[in-house]
Amino acid sequence: MAENKKFNAWLPNFGAKGWGITIACFIFFYFYSFWNAATNTLFGLFNEMYGWQQTDMSYVITIAGWISLIAVVLFGTLGRKIGAKMVSVIGLAGSAIAFGVLACARTFEVFAAGVVIFNFSMVAYATIGVGLLGSSWFPRTKGAFMGIATMGMTISSATLNPIILGFAGTAYGISGFFWAMAAIVAITAVVVFLFVKNNPEEAGAYPDNDQSVSREELKADFKASLEYKKTSPWTTTRVLKTPQTWLIGLGTGLPMMVGAGTIALLVPTLASYGQDPMFGVVLLSSMWPIGLLGHYLIGVLDQKIGTKKTTLVVICVLGIGGLLVKLGGVNSAVCAVATGMLMFGLSGAANVCMSLTASIYGRADFEVAYTPIQVIFNVLNFAGVSVMSTVSAVAGPQNVMLAVFVICLIALVPVIALPYKQIASNIRGE
């Protein structure tokens, strides 16, 4: 697989327009992590204001996550027809409406409707939009792109809760916060509509900002790609019948499942080893710089050693983090190191699915392959809390970390088995 040797993975040169796309996707991921980042604060406030129970609100978010799987298929199909820009605009408009609904929520039913609308519409820009834009604009430097774009998730976790508490202490209250979010998302939709292009060729730029090819060559390659898409033998059915699809989905989805589930249950898990629950809370709240570093370094590794090897690194970091807690959970220092590893691994797990899909299916066939792979990935992702909670209930909370190690060992199998070579479109320079 060809690789741009001149590309600086540590300090990427995406060009002005490429950086614009990267910043847009960073913002998409910021919105994407809203409920993961804000639940602790919002759940407590909603309980105080309306008496809603945390478990009931958690169920709503879980159900909304499963419903959003339909959105993956819907927006994936729509994205292939109307492009990444318009499908992202539609999703952003839906999210703005969702925040407006939440601003008016005085009953649990209205709250649930807002959550479902948000989770459904968010898929359009944060999953399909990011995937299509990333594969088109950064076919060779996708790892570095994702490393920076996914930082939005960690920044969301670090900033949303203080902002929410700030609004809660004013006359605007939580309703004012949601109206502000609705306005910000709506403005983002307008900016994306006006300035974002589906691919660098439309923007007068170069894929990966690689200007070593002439404009004539670029136009010829782009025309050939468009012609190829009309007759590509790759369909959703064929993608689903291809082993690489399932190897990518399982190999990236399983570490995401254990990472997300374990972080969600970290406080009670550490408490089962005798650690003060507040210690777990402090660990989680202070680890966002590690998550930020994880996104960046995994992106660098992706460019340096390839996505397959990077995925193996992510899985190993997660698994060893779980094993450390299992063996030394009574030691606070061990717990701190292990939590950092879990946060680092979780950050990396969010990076690699898109990158692996683009590596195997290529720029032109990415669109048709990404949707079914995302369905597999998200089925596992959304199951994370349920799976790890079941382990805790059946085998005891201390065995949650043993399960992390075992599941990570299992996840190594499909990644190792994945033939790391492009099997679909072959666009020059990939």
Closest to 29 (Cα-Cα) out of 141, 159, 140, 138? 159
CA distance 426 to 413: 27
pLDDT at 347: 87
Render pLDDT for 220-250 as a digit per residue (tens, 0 to 9).
888 888 888 888 899 999 999 999 999 999 9
34-48, 78-92, 126-140, 416-430, range with the lowest pLDDT? 416-430
CA distance 370 to 76: 8
Contact 247, 300 (CB under 8 A): no
Average pLDDT over residues 215-219: 86
Q: Phi/psi of residue 360, each to 5°? A: -85, -40
- Displacement of CA 112 from its chain's centroid (Å): 23
> Dihedral angle at the C-alpha atoms of 279, 280, 281, 284, nearest 10 degrees?
120
Render pLDDT for 151-179 as a digit per residue (tens, 0 to 9).
999 999 889 989 999 999 899 999 999 99
Closest to 61 (Cα-Cα) out of 95, 99, 111? 111
Kindly list the structural domains of the chain, giving each domain's residue range(s) and its CATH number in brackets, ordered by start. Answer: 14-205 (1.20.1250.20), 232-430 (1.20.1250.20)
| pTM of the full structure | 0.89
pLDDT top residue among 129 and 231: 129
pLDDT top residue among 122 and 349: 122
Question: pLDDT band at 35, cuts 50/70/90?
Answer: confident
Question: pLDDT band at 389, cuts 50/70/90?
Answer: confident
- Displacement of CA 317 from its chain's centroid (Å): 18
All residues at 6 or more sequence positions from 390 whose CB lies less than 8 Å from its CB, including other chains: none
Burial class (CB in 10 A: 0-12, 13-18, 19+), 292: buried
CA distance 39 to 260: 14
pLDDT at 6: 63
Angle in degrees, CA 3, 85, 133, rounded to 5:
15
Token readout for 424 is 């679909």
- The percentage of the chain sitting over the pLDDT mark of 90, rounded to a whole number, equals 71
Cβ atoms within 10 Å, residue 55: 9
All residues at 6 or more sequence positions from 276 whose CB lies less than 8 Å from its CB, including other chains: none
Helices vs. strands in the chain: H and E counts, helices first: 17, 0
CA distance 285 to 290: 11
Average pLDDT over residues 64-78: 93
pLDDT at 281: 83
pLDDT at 10: 84
pLDDT at 426: 58
| Torsion sign over Cα 332, 333, 338, 341 | positive
pLDDT top residue among 111 and 424: 111
Token readout for 159 is 């900033």
| Torsion sign over Cα 359, 363, 365, 366 | positive
Contact 290, 340 (CB under 8 A): yes
Compute the mean pLDDT over every residue in the chain, rounded to the nearest whole number.
Answer: 91
Residue 3 has pLDDT above 50, yes or no: no
pLDDT at 40: 67
> Dihedral angle at the C-alpha atoms of 306, 309, 314, 319, nearest 10 degrees?
180
Residue 77 has pLDDT above 60, yes or no: yes
pLDDT at 4: 44
Render pLDDT for 342-363 as a digit per residue (tens, 0 to 9).
999 988 888 899 999 999 998 8
Residue 69 has pLDDT above 60, yes or no: yes
Question: pLDDT band at 145, cuts 50/70/90?
Answer: very high
**Residue whose tokens read 């649930």:** 112
Residue 122 has pLDDT above 90, yes or no: yes
pLDDT at 429: 43
pLDDT at 2: 40
